[in-house]
Amino acid sequence: MLTEAYRSSNATTQQPLVRVVEVSDDHLLVRWVEPGKCHYGEQKWRLGVASRNGYCVLSNRRIGRGEPAYRPTGRPRPRNYVAMIAVPAIEALYMAVARQID
């Protein structure tokens, strides 16, 4: 289980608190807290292809249209549906956690 919390670097007035709770081959469980807007305790994010250009909510890395990225899923469509997490951000998180364990 990954429990590292990151503040999103998106330029909004109230930045969401994003915590990756669990990682599998094709999805993430993410805790997303955006004060005054939305709170998802265990939100499923699926690995797919970015349908538009954007930025990773963890690393602020640019994600180009067509690149692999994790996006929130659910019905009805979640308020944070345009958010994305870049695959390299998850790889970096794994490496950071592994260094703490060693």
Q: Where are the domains of the chain?
A: 5-101
Please choose, from the candidates 46, 43, 87, 32, the residue with its C-alpha nearest in 3D space to the C-alpha of residue 64.
87
Band (pLDDT 50/70/90 cuts) for residue 3 is: very low
**22-49 tens-digit pLDDT:** 999 899 999 999 998 899 999 999 999 9
Cβ contact 14:35 at 8 Å: yes
Band (pLDDT 50/70/90 cuts) for residue 94 is: confident
Cβ contact 42:28 at 8 Å: no
**3-class secondary-structure state, position 95:** helix
Cβ contact 42:29 at 8 Å: yes
DSSP, res 44: E
Cβ contact 10:18 at 8 Å: no
